[in-house]
Structure 1
Amino acid sequence: MSRRTLSFAGVVGAALLTAGALAGCATGASSPSSSTGPSSSTPDATGVAPATQIGAAWLDGGRSIAVVTSGSSSCPPVVSGEPTLADGTVSVTLAESPRDNCTRDMAPRATLVGLPSGTDVARAWTVSVEGVAEGRAMLDGLTSAAPTGQADFSPSAGWVDDSLIAILTYGSSGCPPTVESVTTAGSDIAVQFATPPADQVCTMDIAPRVTLAEVGGDVPAGEVSLTLSGGNVDATGPITVLGTR
């Protein structure tokens, strides 16, 4: 079964952009995920995303998903209320980012959505999104990694589509990691995060951040391992990319 309604790589080419879920800058607002400075808020930042530009990926062993939308890369939407489960559908409402300065780009950005306890991750789900972004995406069931207990703050990753991976890390919400390079060797993928500027001011919290990485279309089918390095990301070894493409 197809897990997506659109390849985001086809929308933005090889852009590597970060969108931090529940992330904010040092002043308490959401942190920008592009290297360019923010500009005045524009309709791109708050308009409803077309229904064909919704994606989803499993994260954190199935405890959470990343919902991927298109718009200003520095102003990913936030979850409004609690997601609900009914008849094979995960319903999520997204609200506008609290930021008032947004970049004018149009890029994929990810919002982290925690799932209710007891969600059956072995079955397929339709992710239905409404609010400032509207549309649906499909998630095939996981064959393993059913959620147990509390999250342990370890990095995780999941397939959004054939070439786009959502990566969940934990650290300062004011300094989410940005992708510097991606190297693939068969079923092994290495993502190098950029070193933050020495004068960058980071908040002292520990929060989840979701980074999107374009890995190309040459990765073979089957299980894929991901190695993370740089960017002050605490990753002790390879992780398995969840889901199917």
Structure 2
Amino acid sequence: MSRHRLTLIGLLGASLLAAGALTGCASGAASAPSSSTPDAVTSAPGADIAAAWVDAGRAIAVVTYGSSSCVPVVEGEPTVANGVVTVTLADAQRDACTRDMAPRATLVPLPAGVDAAQPLAVTVSGAVEGKTRLDALASVPAAPTDLTASAGWVDRSMVAIVTYGSSGCVPTVESVTSQGETVEVQFATPPADQICTMDFAPRVTLADIGREAGQGEVSLVLSGGGVQVADPVPVLGTR
């Protein structure tokens, strides 16, 4: 995994897209190089897969690799059996995608019966295929209220951050700095003319915080980019 700073990635799966427009949200494709050329949507079977616990263990962020502007969406309902959750991903319904190769995250609500205090194997099929495994959470937090931001470790450096707002405009990371026992993640101010869908849904941003996180447990202070989170957000899982 590259240690370079990640500026966004990811939008989630099949959530609540609605027609309409709203200005003042960050672009969901900001991580793509400006010279990238749109291309047809293509699947990427056999790609590397990673995952992170989020939302107090009630969901996971599945990280795949491909066009940063065309994040796969969840198709159907995930299933769980014998400690294995199976997720089907479909290509994003877009006419064209940027020709980059980047990590991007899809939010996957977990079915009933998944215990985050137990290890979880993840099998992904469909537009992207692969397998990964999540270690059990040492301490499963109480379920938060709805629309609460959350975060989880993807690997030793990358975290998946879930915030709420327009699903068409995922926040992008501008800077990451250490603030004592917390890591401050500053989201970029979106372009004034950015057009976003008029819905309110969870979005997943990937950020590289490895250099600032130090050792031990980490919490994130989120600010900027239209994201309003009052309290530090604990990062779930292990590195």
Q: C-alpha displacement at 1:16, in angstroms?
A: 2.3
Contact preservation (8 Å) 1:88, 1:124: yes
Is 1:104 matched with 2:104?
no
Alpha-carbon shift at residue 203 of structure 1 (Å):
2.4
Q: Does residue 32 in structure 1 map to residue 29 in structure 2? A: yes
Aligned residue type for 1:204:
M
Instruction: Report the equivalent of 2:237.
Output: 243
C-alpha distance in 2, partners of 1:55/1:94?
14
- Between Structure 1 and Structure 2, which shows a larger proportion of strand residues? 2
Q: 1:147 and 1:63 mapped to 2: Cα distance? A: 10
* One-letter code aligned to 2:42: T
Aligned to 2:222: 228
1:175 aligned to 2:169?
yes
1:155/1:99 Cα in 2 relative to 1: closer, same or farther (>3 Å)? same
Give CA-to-partner distance per residue, 1:192-237, whole Å, 9 cap, x none: 0011111222222101100000113453332101010001112001
Tell whether 2:2 aligns with 1:9.
Answer: yes
Distance in 2 (alpha carbons) for counterparts of 1:96 and 1:199: 27
Q: Is the 8 A contact 1:26 1:201 kept in 2?
A: no
3-state SS, counterpart of residue 5 of structure 2 = coil
Task: Please state how far the C-alpha of 1:151 moved relative to its aligned partner.
Answer: 5.1
Question: Contact 1:111/1:210 (CA < 8 Å) preserved in 2?
Answer: yes
Task: Write the distance in 2 (CA, Å) between the matches of 1:205 and 1:63.
Answer: 22
Unmatched tracts of structure 1, length 5 or more: 1-7
Give runs of aligned pairs for residues 69-218 of structure 1, distance below 5 A.
Answer: 69-146=64-141, 148=143, 152-185=146-179, 187-217=181-211
Query: 2: distance between equivalents of 1:164 and 1:101?
Result: 27
Q: Identify if the C-alpha distance between structure 1 residues 213 and 31 changes in structure 2 by more than 3 Å, giving closer, same or farther.
A: closer
TM-score by structure 2 length? 0.87
Which is bigger in relative contact order (C-alpha 8 A, separation at least 6)? 2
Gaps of 5+ in 2: 22-26
Contact 2:117 2:140 in 1 (8 A): no
**Aligned-pair CA distance for 1:131:** 1.3
CA distance in 1, matches of 2:88, 2:192: 37
Deviation at 1:95, TM superposition (A): 0.9
Coordinate RMSD, CA, aligned: 2.4
- How far has the Cα of 1:146 moved from its partner? 4.7
How far has the Cα of 1:240 moved from its partner? 0.5
**AA at the equivalent of 1:95:** A
Q: Percent of pairs identical after alignment? A: 55
Q: Report SS of the residue matched to 1:61.
A: helix
Specify whether residues 147 and 115 from structure 1 end up closer, same or farther in structure 2 by C-alpha distance, changes over 3 A only: farther
The CA distance in 2 between the partners of 1:161 and 1:87, in whole Å, is 24
How far did 1:135 drift? 1.3
Say how many residue pairs are matched: 231
Greater shift after overlay, 154-163 or 135-144?
Answer: 135-144
Moved more, 218-227 or 64-73: 218-227
The farther-off stretch of 231-240 and 212-221 is: 212-221
- In 1, Cα distance between the equivalents of 2:30 and 2:139? 31
